[in-house]
Homo-oligomer: A and B are copies of this chain.
Amino acid sequence: MILVNGVPQTQIDLSDRGLQYGDGLFETIEVLNGQLVFLEQHLQRLSLGCQRLLLPPLAYEIFKKEALSIVKNISKGVLKIIITRGSGGRGYRQPPIVNATRIISLHPSPEYPDHFQQQGIQVRFCQQRLSHNPILAGIKHLNRLEQVLARAEWNDDVINEGIMLDYEGHVIEGTMSNIFFVRNHKLYTPTLTQAGIMGIMRDFLLKRAQKLGITIEEGFFNPQDLLEADALFMSNSIIGIWPVKSLEKRTFSQNTITQQLQRQLKQHKRHFYENFP
């Protein structure tokens, strides 16, 4: 099921600036028992993205209504929202009146084995770097060639995620996830003011960690900081939290903070089961 500006469709005009220039934004939201996990937060990030890209203010209520209508009878899945600057304009110049394109599509959940959550995943460093752009940093825009190129670096299914650095050698994030590490009972995660996506799950976990009294440090870290950590984990809205069991040649064992945060997330999701009609 796909809605384009509220109408069921499978195609989009070739003149759409989403295709022509990657001129737009997207969100990927977990569907659980007819509901959307962190829907408000996803829409808030989309709204921030609209401000940054100078798009018209997000039609918040329309998005919400359409998104919820699509997932009404769906127990499990992924909802993808795309917003583009629509068609028109001469070249890069946007048209005087922007009619944004709103695309809402439902997809099956990716089938990740349970042991990714429990025993963890294997991770590598990517060669492809992330470039700096403070205007685009944090938001989930449609210019994703760096991620595509990074993900093309390995075909080995044993490796589940790759870690990307910026051109200064700082760790930024995974190709599709944010990264956290634990050292001496403190939780660390990269600052995303220059590159990377401000994950909705990342934000949730930082808030919960704070509530739990865990000391948090956002900053600039090197690959060596990850290799010397007590534990690592990756997060996003669909996977939740995946502990890292190995990064290159280094292996990691289970960690209390990772497990605490996994329990917090599980608890948060409980009401999506309780509320199901």
Chain A positions within 8 Å of B, measured between CB atoms, are: 2, 4, 9-14, 16-23, 26, 53-54, 82, 84-85, 90-94, 103, 105, 110, 128-129, 131-133, 135-136, 141-152, 167, 175-176
Contacts and interface: CB of A to CB of B under 8 A. Distances in A.
A110 to B, nearest CB: 6
B135 A14 contact: no
Contact of A92 (B11, B20, B147): B147
Contacts of A135: 128, 149
Contacts of A136: 145-146
A226 to B, nearest CB: 21
B142 A21 contact: yes
B151 A92 contact: yes
B11 A4 contact: no
B21 A19 contact: no
B14 A4 contact: yes
Given A54-B152, A131-B131, A131-B132, A144 B92 contact: yes
A247 B124 CA distance: 47
Most chain B Cβ neighbours within 10 Å, of A20, A128, A167:
A20
A9 B11 CA distance: 11
B145 A21 contact: yes
Contact of A22 (B21, B94, B152): B21
A23 B145 contact: yes
A20 B148 CA distance: 11
List the 3 closest pairs (A to B, CB-CB), nearest first. A22-B22, A131-B131, A143-B143
A54 B151 CA distance: 11
A93 to B, nearest CB: 5
B19 A149 contact: no
Given A14-B2, A21-B22, A22-B21, A141 B145 contact: yes
Given A22-B22, A135-B149, A145-B141, A110 B90 contact: yes
Nearest to A17: B148
A101 to B, nearest CB: 10
A29 to B, nearest CB: 14
16 contacts: A4-B14, A11-B11, A11-B12, A12-B19, A20-B144, A21-B143, A21-B147, A23-B148, A91-B151, A92-B147, A93-B151, A93-B152, A94-B151, A132-B167, A136-B145, A143-B145
A149 B53 contact: yes
Contact of A91 (B16, B22, B132, B176): B176
Contacts of A9: 14
